[in-house]
Amino acid sequence: MKQVFTPMIMAGVVFLMLFVPAAVSGAADFSYPDLDGKIHRLSDYRGKWVVVNYWATWCPPCLEELPELEVFHDGHKDRDALVLGLNMENIRVEKLRTFVEEQFLSYPVLRVGSRPGLPLGRVPGLPTTFLVSPEGDVVARMVGPIDGKIVEAFISNYKK
């Protein structure tokens, strides 16, 4: 019997290899300021899936995934999920705000600095993305670039 790898099967294989379950027990939380100084707590978003993306403006793979994260956020923010971008660098807020505006990012970008506490788990490199369930549990972590289709696939499979 000849096996055929369809794009959907290949996407599933890549998904399983890259976006792996995280080992964090219990509901996670943090609080960081956005570009206007407003404090965002992870717990404020209970009831929705939250994509928590650690990134920096100097990181080429981070820059590649920003449009993907924006599309995902825009398509889900009013329904079931959203993105929080956690900027991991010491950068003037004006410079970061200009960068965010130039990238047309509408999701909250939070300032965590270059040595933040890591309440969701280890961040071995940038970008690192955590997926937090509507109950507040960290259910997956991915090191490296991510796209919306991978997140949607994980959420779809996790719900089953």
Taking only the tens place, the pLDDT of each residue in 56-71 is 999 999 999 999 999 9
Where along the chain do its domains lie?
Answer: 7-159
Cα–Cα distance, 26 to 47 (Å, whole number): 15
pLDDT of residue 115: 77
Q: 20 or 130: which carries more pLDDT confidence?
A: 130
Phi-psi region of 116 (alpha: psi -120 to 50; beta: other; left: phi over 0): beta
Q: What is the pTM of this model?
A: 0.84
Half-sphere exposure of 145 (CA within 13 A, CB side): 11
Q: Of the CATH numbers 3.40.30.10, 1.10.10.60, 3.40.50.300, 1.10.10.10, which one belongs to the domain with range 7-159? A: 3.40.30.10
* Residue position matching structure tokens 């993305």: 129
Contact between residue 68 and residue 29 where contact means Cβ atoms under 8 Å apart: no
Pick from 130, 118, 38: nearest CA to 83: 130
